[in-house]
Amino acid sequence: MTRIAAAFQRARLENRAAFIGYLTAGDPSADATVRMAGALDAAGADILELGVPFSDPIADGPVLQRSAQRALSAGTTLEGVLAMAARIRARTSLALVLFSYVNPLLRRGLAAVASDARDAGFDGALATDLPPEEAGQYQPLLRAAGLDTVFLVSPTSPAGRMREAARLSSGFLYVVSRAGTTGARASLPPELAATIRRARRAAGSLPIAVGFGISTPEAARRAAALADGVIVGSALMRAAEAAGDKREEAVALLARSLVLSCRRAR
């Protein structure tokens, strides 16, 4: 059983949704990223998506765009992200997902990425702009290295694409809560329950995690009632951005409130 599968199993046994946090690696530094990962672990997070900063983050809203730019300005590379992951792996019990646009992975070479990510301690990978129809080389190489592969579906995904994304996924299927870019929102869309029902029909027993727009305990509570995992990224990076030198404390404080909201009433 992979760490990702174990995280969902543990959450299920504890009658809660798994909490999945996202951090842009290298924002504002490698050391800060490792410390924030430790703060998430201490707050009760189950899985960490460690984002590779990219110069053209078309799926990201303004918070993550600024975060990626700061990380790139600090000199963060894919090699540096792998080094951060190794440090996080040694210091935490978090399951780790390499979160990237596909271009940096192709530049390094998919076979090399698969091997290097495994050796760094990653448990899975997600290429946010790689549709399932174009994953012919990507998915087998990463799975052969022992990494889970995570694909995304959205409210506009037809049934066939949802089935194909689920077929290629292991670990979990990522359900984007709304069309558009990432970013904290005041509330979740009313059609989310219907989107998750469609995703469950496609996924079968594969866990489903929902992300994009979850920023408050109330939104996390609603998402946890529908899905097996709750993903929060922009809200965590916004809290870190606003807190400056107190970023670890701010991330831990927000994460604790969101982790508590992932618990379901018995």
**Mind spelling out the 3-state secondary structure of the chain?**
CCHHHHHHHHHHHCCECEEEEEEECCCCCHHHHHHHHHHHHHHCCCEEEEECCCCCCCCCCHHHHHHHHHHHHCCCCHHHHHHHHHHHHHHCCCEEEEEECHHHHHHHCHHHHHHHHHHHCCCEEEECCCCHHHCCCHHHHHHHCCCEEECEECCCCCHHHHHHHHHHCCCCEEEECCCCCCCCCCCCCCCHHHHHHHHHHHHCCCCEEEECCCCCHHHHHHHHHHCCEEEECHHHHHHHHHHHHHHHHHHHHHHHHHHHHCECCC
- pLDDT in the model for residue 59: 78
Residue 183: its pLDDT value, please? 46
The predicted-structure confidence for 145-175, as pLDDT tens digits, reads as follows 999 999 999 999 999 999 999 999 999 999 9
Out of 49, 116, 123, 248, pick the active-site residue: 49
Res 259: pLDDT:
98
Instruction: Give the whole-number percent of the chain exceeding pLDDT 90.
Output: 89
What pTM was estimated for this model as a whole? Answer: 0.95
Say which of 60, 116, 164, 248 is annotated catalytic. Answer: 60
pLDDT at 28 over 70: yes
Whether the pLDDT of residue 179 is over 70: the answer is: no
Annotation marks residue 60 as catalytic: yes
Domains and CATH numbers, the chain: 3-261 (3.20.20.70)
Residue-level pLDDT at 265:
77
State yes or no: is 46 an active-site residue: no
